[in-house]
Every structure is written in structure tokens, then in C-alpha cells.
Amino acid sequence: MKRYGFIFLLFALTSAYAANQNDLNKLIQLKNAQTIHLDLSNADLRNYPFIPGKIDLQQANLSHSNLSGVDLSKMNLGGADLRYTDLSNAKLNQVNLVDANLEHANLSGAELQHTDLSRANLSFTILEKTNFQQSIFTKANLSCANLNEANLSNTTFTEANISGASFVNTMTAGITGYDSVVDQNITCG
């Protein structure tokens, strides 16, 4: 009964403007369609102006893409596939990267301040000289990641996996949750 009520309401509202039945059917199909996630894999997106709210990158496939130097601040990249993506010198401040896959990505020199990386996969990721001030790594996988010279000031590492990660000359002032990290002896070769 609900579906027919919706169709009747659409027909009643649009009949004064002579909408045809094909247009109404398209609206109904659109309403019932599942969300389609963007596939931008293997793309060179260095010159694309990403504007928050104009494009939905949640669960998008950006694997093997070049986003070097791009400003993605305040974007929602939750659940996105960013494996092997070049994000060197990119700006990802205040970004949602919850459940994102950044395995083998290059984020060297990037800015990720106030960014949520909870449950993100950052294994084998290059994070040298990356600024993560006040970011969240709760339950993130950082195994075999390179965090040399990164700024981790005031970050949260509750239950994060840092097994095999490299922390040479890394700024770690004010880290919270470090007492619960997983740090096992593994081979990263």
C-alpha cells in the first residue's frame, strides 16, 4: 500500500504540470536504486578541484590513482579503496577515512590533521614526514608502515596495530591510547 501511495502522490503533484508516466517511472526506479560508488581507479586526478558536498567519495574506488598535491580536506572518504594511490603532499585535513583501505599508498609529506582513520588499513603505507596532528587511529592497521619523521602529536592510537612499523625521528608528544596498541614482531620484507 505504501508504494502505491507514493506513486499516487507523485502523480497528483506532477499531473498539473503534465508529467508523463515514463518520467514518473524513472523517479520510482531512482528512488529504489542502490547507491553506486564511483570508480576512479588508475586515474590522474591531480588537477581536479574536489569540493566537499559536490562529489561523494565515500566507498569510491581510487586505487592506483594519482592524487599527489590534491586538496581533499573535509571530504568523506569513509570505506574508500585507496590502495597504491599517490597522495604525496596532499591535504586531507578533517577527512573521514574510517574503514578506508590505504594499503601500499604513498602519503609522504601529506597533511592529515584532525582526520579520522579509525579501522583504516595503512599497512605498508609510506607516511614519511606526514602531519597527523590530532588525528584518530583507533583500531587502525599500521603494520609495516613507514612513519619516519611524521608528526603524531596529540593523536589517538587505541588498539591500533603498529607491528613492524618504523618510527625513526617521529614526533609522538601527547599520544593517547598507546598502552593498548598491538606491536608484534613480524617480518615486513
Q: CATH number, domain at 63?
A: 2.160.20.80
Contacts of 115 (CB under 8 A, 6+ apart): 92, 93, 94, 95, 96, 97, 132, 135, 136
Using the predicted structure, report yes or no on whether residue 147 has a pLDDT greater than 60: yes
For 101, the grid coordinates are 583501505
Domain of 168? 38-189
pLDDT attached to residue 36: 62
Number of domains in the chain: 2
Using the predicted structure, report yes or no on whether residue 76 has a pLDDT greater than 50: yes
- Residue 84 sits in the same domain as residue 136: yes
pLDDT attached to residue 186: 94
Buried b / exposed e over 84-117, threshold 16 CB at 10 Å, is bbbbbbbbbbbbbbbbbbbbbbbbbbbbbbbbbb
Using the predicted structure, report yes or no on whether residue 49 has a pLDDT greater than 70: yes
pLDDT attached to residue 24: 43
Strand partners, 111: 91, 131
| Stronger pLDDT, 146 or 26, i.e. the higher one | 146
- Residue 131 sits in the same domain as residue 73: yes
Using the predicted structure, report yes or no on whether residue 81 has a pLDDT greater than 80: yes
pLDDT attached to residue 95: 97
- Residue 86 sits in the same domain as residue 177: yes
- Residue 83 sits in the same domain as residue 20: no
- Residue 73 sits in the same domain as residue 122: yes
- Residue 48 sits in the same domain as residue 139: yes
- Residue 130 sits in the same domain as residue 65: yes
- Residue 20 sits in the same domain as residue 61: no
- Residue 103 sits in the same domain as residue 183: yes
Using the predicted structure, report yes or no on whether residue 69 has a pLDDT greater than 80: yes
- Residue 25 sits in the same domain as residue 93: no
Integer Cα distance of 15 and 7 in angstroms: 12
pLDDT attached to residue 4: 41
- Residue 28 sits in the same domain as residue 42: no
- Residue 66 sits in the same domain as residue 111: yes
pLDDT attached to residue 103: 98
| 42 band by pLDDT with thresholds 50, 70 and 90 | very high
